[in-house]
Structure 1
């Protein structure tokens, strides 16, 4: 199996060299106006959190996603924390989220003094399972004086936080229905899902708010960076105000009407983002072609399958992911380790999925429902090199 997997990887990625490895996902600025836009910031002196490139970046995000409003901030974790705060999450509350996600999803909850509450995922999308959310709420939730609480802990259950894993849209219509039935605000962690759609709606726009990330390994990068998406003008205005230290407009006075944060994205970073957003359609098409190339290469490899694009969705294919299909997840994990070691020795920098969040010591005591699917799937998943420039002719 290992030899067959390595051969399929070579077929897609070309020859690898440990001295010049093939990374998981690399930024690429070729064919863009990045140099000119960044130089404009330097020439004009507008390099900090004000400037025309921030506004233009937000406008371009709205155009790309269909959002009515976008608010650019310094990173994806900050975007999550700010959005949770805007939706009313406070210290001592619980937020329902999947254990299969990058740690930032849970950290953003913890940064507010709130508590992650883990609920199981679907095997297909790898996102939150609406049935598991419904069952978990039926098992532990009760209303006391109009407040939804966890009867086991006494804490308020304050929000539902699904994640679009590897850019594949979660089951949002069903999750939104569960959230509405229980009176829970819904925030989408769409950090990995710029350019991903379900049923004609961009990820991040099903619930009250959604968040994006522009870290260096994302489809579009601003070095760091993140954004909040919403169709609610009041939430957008409040996000912009609190992320700019809650300073009231005035030519010289420093008056602040709330405890805010200094979260805004610098103009210099936004210029990088604009240059790549102009190239977004080509990048998305390249990612689709790369996923198709992987599908063809792995079609005859026994014991593995690619994580597929969900029905009625258009994924950005941020990371192409291989799933080991051995009946026993322990056997699948052992097979994955052999492939990881062989691929890294060859210069192919594959990555396993994140450690499940409830298995991290920092969240081991967090409340959780049964997690059989997450615990079965995590040992099976292996992310493959997914930079769009792996395609021949990219940037030519």
Structure 2
């Protein structure tokens, strides 16, 4: 690893993750933890036959998800991408609109926009949060946007800019207060991509419900999981009811008649997945505490390592540290870092390719992306499973 002490880094990874020295046990990047009532609740679904999109666990899980995100309503769906798709539709995104989204994000953020037959419009991120930079966005809109009849349009393309989608990267909060100021200035609704940020807070406020509508994910690699799943999040009850209707094939309730009053989607979360989610949510505080303790251990371990720095939560925030990350000083050291760590049994990975570098999004509108390019070329995620941090939680409790 160029300019990095690979043996020292491997030794620290062994120490923090608790892998016995000399073993070849693989430490994955992230894996789910099932240590509560998962078997009990799922077995109940199997015993009763309520395994599909109707059942008591769906309603209970939606109540618990809304509570976990501090919103009035959560509508659970088959995955986070589906939830984001419906959230965008609820915000009024329509065909041929543009939607502001960071170039540094998982592809689902851009894909959900495309499912609306809209066009992603990429904006730069900032190093402090790894998320969309509100100041860069404001400057960019000053350059390319204009008001027409109380809506914002891209002067260069003539298309309406219908929404802004901030994504809280690895659980670290975007500067939402400033972003909401920019959105209000331009009269653009905010659709919050909280796929990675359950339990994260900014100025004491939970993420996911700070915009008009939000979306989260319960995929198998997330902080808690339903196997596959997601949820739309909102404080607007009418919007939530409309979202639920559209996500349930837009079928009007009736004892036997099949009448669908508009185009809908078969996106509702099955009861068996919701049962798993209910058990997972019962442990979410413990899981986040373990992940935060793991992050503190990494921060301490890497503080004196030349050539890299551990990514810490932004100011005025409390991150769930969904994925831990280091940023290397030298981009040329990234691939050797990945090769050595993976060869030695640690599941590390690079950041996502920028969206504008993918073939289907190369021609989309974009601001200058110098910070996003820098982060993408230098960031590496390191093992982040909750069970790796449990020993630190127990040690802290013992000392207290």
Q: TM-score, normalised by structure 2?
A: 0.95
Match of 1:312 among 306, 312, 316: 316
Q: Within 5 A, what are the aligned runs for 1:205-220?
A: 205-220=209-224
Shift of 1:378: 1.1
Structure 2 match to 1:60: 64
Match of 1:23 among 22, 28, 42: 28
Query: SS at the partner of 2:163?
Result: strand
Aligned CA RMSD, in angstroms, stands at 1.5
- 1:191 matched to 2:191? The reply is no
Shift of 1:258: 1.4
Structure 1 match to 2:282: 278
Structure 2 match to 1:336: 334
Q: Tell me how far apart the structure 2 counterparts of residues 297 and 320 of structure 1 sit (CA, whole Å).
A: 13
Query: SS at the partner of 2:124?
Result: coil
Q: Tell me how far apart the structure 2 counterparts of residues 205 and 371 of structure 1 sit (CA, whole Å).
A: 27
- 1:139 matched to 2:137? The reply is no
Structure 2 match to 1:366: 364
Q: Is the 8 A contact 2:290 2:390 kept in 1?
A: no
Structure 2 match to 1:384: 382
Structure 2 match to 1:171: 175
Q: TM-score, normalised by structure 1?
A: 0.95
Shift of 1:269: 0.4
Q: Within 5 A, what are the aligned runs for 1:1-396?
A: 1=4, 2-13=6-17, 14-15=19-20, 20-30=25-35, 32-325=36-329, 332-391=330-389, 393=391
Q: Tell me how far apart the structure 2 counterparts of residues 366 and 318 of structure 1 sit (CA, whole Å).
A: 29
Shift of 1:302: 1.1
Instruction: Give ranges in structure 1 of 5+ residues lacking alignment.
Output: 326-331
Shift of 1:16: 7.4
Assess, with a 3 A threshold, how the Cα gap between structure 1 residues 317 and 366 changes in structure 2: closer, same or farther. same
1:13-34 CA-to-partner distances (Å, cap 9, x unmatched) read 124789641110001102x100
Structure 2 match to 1:328: none
Query: SS at the partner of 1:344?
Result: helix
Q: Is the 8 A contact 1:143 1:149 kept in 2?
A: yes
1:147-171 CA-to-partner distances (Å, cap 9, x unmatched) read 3211111111100000000000100
Query: SS at the partner of 1:321?
Result: strand
Q: Tell me how far apart the structure 1 counterparts of residues 26 and 204 of structure 2 sit (CA, whole Å).
A: 38
Query: SS at the partner of 1:301?
Result: coil
Q: Is the 8 A contact 2:326 2:380 kept in 1?
A: yes
Query: SS at the partner of 2:343?
Result: helix
Shift of 1:142: 1.3
Assess, with a 3 A threshold, how the Cα gap between structure 1 residues 40 and 155 changes in structure 2: closer, same or farther. same
Q: Is the 8 A contact 1:34 1:272 kept in 2?
A: yes
Instruction: Give ranges in structure 2 of 5+ residues lacking alignment.
Output: 395-400
Q: Is the 8 A contact 1:16 1:22 kept in 2?
A: no
The aligned length equals 389
Q: Tell me how far apart the structure 2 counterparts of residues 373 and 239 of structure 1 sit (CA, whole Å).
A: 35
Assess, with a 3 A threshold, how the Cα gap between structure 1 residues 247 and 17 changes in structure 2: closer, same or farther. farther
